[in-house]
Each structure stands twice: as C-alpha cells, then as structure tokens.
Amino acid sequence: MENALIISQTIFYSVSSLTMIVLFILFTVSAYRVIKILKTLQTIASDIHDFSDEAKEKLEDIIEKLSLLPILSFFMKKPKKAKNPKTKVEKN
C-alpha cells in the first residue's frame, strides 16, 4: 500500500513539473512572437508616417505650382483679413 502511494506521488510531481516546463516554454514562444509582431507594426507605422510627410510636401508643391497659373490663381487667393472691422452699436 505504501509503495503505491509513493509511486503515485512520484508520478504526480513528475507530471506537474513537466506541465509547468511545457507551459513556460509555450509562454516564452508566444511572448517572443508578440514582440516580433509589435516590432513589425512599429516599422509599418514609421513607414506610413514617412510616406504621409512626403505626400504632404508633394501636395503643397502641386498647390503652389497651380496657384501660379493665371486662371486658377484667382480661385486660390487667400482672403485678406480686415485690420479694424467697423461695427456700429446703436443706442436708443
């Protein structure tokens, strides 16, 4: 009877230890993959940011060149702000 108890305890602790080792390995592999995915997403976001800066500069150049055309320059003029708008307040 005591032999069976010792054998079952040994099997239980061996299986528990093996399970903990397997879970640790799975956690380590999944953490490595998540970190790799995050680094990839960071490079993609950086590339998109760089592309948007370049696109913004190109659009500004295109608008500047279009504003030099006589026909379109009329429509692309920025309205000038009035220096001192006159408002009258009537008192009764």
**Model's pTM, two decimal places?**
0.53
10 within domain boundaries: yes
39 within domain boundaries: yes
- Is residue 53 within 8 A of residue 45, CB to CB? The reply is no
pLDDT tens-digit readout, 21-37: 999 999 999 999 999 99
Separation between Cα atoms, residue 4 and residue 48, nearest integer Å: 65
**Is residue 16 pLDDT above 90, yes or no?**
yes
17 within domain boundaries: yes
Number of domains in the chain: 1
86 within domain boundaries: no
pLDDT tens-digit readout, 40-79: 999 999 999 989 989 999 998 888 887 777 776 666 666 5
82 within domain boundaries: no
85 within domain boundaries: no
- Owning domain of residue 43: 2-73
12 within domain boundaries: yes
91 within domain boundaries: no
